[in-house]
Amino acid sequence: MSAPEVPPLQGLILAGGRSRRMQQDKALLRYAGQPQVLVAYERVSALVSPVFVSCRKGQWEDANVNALPQLHDTLDDVGPLGGILRAFEQQPDAAWLVVACDLPYLTQTTLTALIASRDPARNATAFRAPDSGLPEPVCAIYEPAIAPLLEQYLSEGIRCPRKILLSEDTALFDLPDPEALINVNHPHEFEEARAHLGDTL
């Protein structure tokens, strides 16, 4: 008997958040001379294809950003879960490498390690958060089998991907670089990241 076919891996950049705490769109913050959403897109595109940006329709005026392949949110106020469900709606037979756009410390090495650790027989593959040991849901791989479960959780009012990954069959691995998944939500964190990464607006 032949082994089951492994679902193809596609990429999804989560960039549709309202960025209320940052007070400006986090996807457009610049660390490497270009908008962070474009940096994330290029890093993921180097490893999987195709890659889409999850965002709100008409979210940006920047022509370079708008040129990226987009999946527009169809669910309001459900956070990252809405973007992931939209991706499975687009391609239900694919697995999705999901990456948030607000991870300026994320490197190619970390993404490569995640893909190398992928277990397609499980519902998802994720890193453990260094401080809590809980799954990191916004740099993770979601297999097709988890899609109907995500819909069920949402119908029950559960919108937190971390809680879902904790409850489901998730392959968990230690994060190679403890700082790789530090996200930037507030202006002071943005300034710290800019200073650390040596860039300006």
* Per-chain mean pLDDT for the chain: 87
Is 148 part of a structural domain of the chain? yes
Domain count along the chain: 1
CATH number of residue 65's parent domain: 3.90.550.10
pLDDT tens figures, 140-172: 999 999 999 999 999 999 999 999 999 999 999
* Domain span at 122: 9-197
Is 1 part of a structural domain of the chain? no
Quote the pTM value: 0.91
Band (193; pLDDT cuts 50, 70, 90): low
The predicted pLDDT at position 179 comes to 87
CA dist list (Å): 17 to 122, 133, 155, 159, 197 = 28, 25, 21, 14, 23
Band (201; pLDDT cuts 50, 70, 90): very low
Angstrom distance (rounded) from CA 98 to CA 82: 12
pLDDT tens figures, 21-71: 555 677 888 876 788 899 899 999 999 999 999 988 878 777 778 889 999
Is 2 part of a structural domain of the chain? no
CA dist list (Å): 184 to 70, 134, 147, 199 = 22, 19, 28, 15
